[in-house]
Structure formats: C-alpha cells, structure tokens
Amino acid sequence: MSDDTCLFCKIVSGSTAAAIVNEDEHTLTFLDHRPLFPGHCLLVPKEHFETLTDLPPASVAPLFQKAQQLSRAVEAAMGAEGTFVAMNNRVSQSVPHLHIHIVPRKRKDGLKGFFWPRTRYKEQAEMVEVAKLIAKNIEQQINSSS
C-alpha cells in the first residue's frame, strides 16, 4: 500500500529521485537531503504507514533490524564515534510516512543532546503516577489484543 501524495512513497516507487543507500524487501534507506551531518540517513518501510503505532507488529522486527545494521554501517562509513537514532510520530514529522533518522555523531560535534528543553517532575509522587498511568495503558493494550 502506498500514498500517491507522499514524498517518501514516491521515493520508494522511484518516481522521485533520492540518493539511495540500501534497499531490501521491506525497507528503503536514502540520504536526508538536509542532513544534520553528512551520512544522515532516513530509513522507511516500503509500505505507507504514518507512525510507529500504525506499523503492523510483524513489520517491527525487520525495520529495527535494518536500523541496527544501518547504525553500525553509518558509524563505520563516516568515521563516527556513534549514531543518533530518532523517530517522530506526527509532531515534528515533516513527512507523514514513518521514518527513522540515523545520524553519525562525534563528541563535540555541536549537536546538543535532544533538540528541546528538558524538565523535571515536580515531585517523586508525580513521577510514580505517570509511570502507573503508562503501565496501566500497556496492560489495557495487552488485554484488548488477547
């Protein structure tokens, strides 16, 4: 399944050019046209899924196995000390097609951790309550899928 209006679907189909890095049965990897650093790759599933939550469970392993492989390859190819692997779901997602950024990193490369301000919980009780809410939702998801 693809979306005729989606830029990444057009890249997957070959109707829009991109610097292709790798392709397999499930995924396509290409260089970001506005990289944080040279070697910044975008990994996409070939089928159109907008977010990680839309991705079928059977497709999760192939996608993340490829992300793991690309992380090693980008690090080695670019002489990097590590990689930054990231994904946005809707908010800050410039193209509404699931994609994973794999960015080569070096210490003191100018990239400051996460790109947004960090905060703290007001108190330990708030942190515990948030953890409980998330855990409860996971339990509900597990129960509704069985």
Tokens, residue 23? 């392709």
In our burial notation (b when 16+ CB lie closer than 10 A, e otherwise), range 41-73 reads: bbbbbbbbbbeeeeeeeebeeebeebbebbbeb
Whose tokens are 């998330």? That residue is: 134
Task: Give yes or no: 33 in active site.
Answer: no
**Strand spans (E) along 5-141:** 20-23, 27-31, 41-45, 82-86, 100-105
Give the residue among 59, 58, 32, 31 at the shortest CA–CA distance from 46.
Answer: 59
| List 48, 97, 99, 101, catalytic entry | 99
Active-site annotation, residues:
99
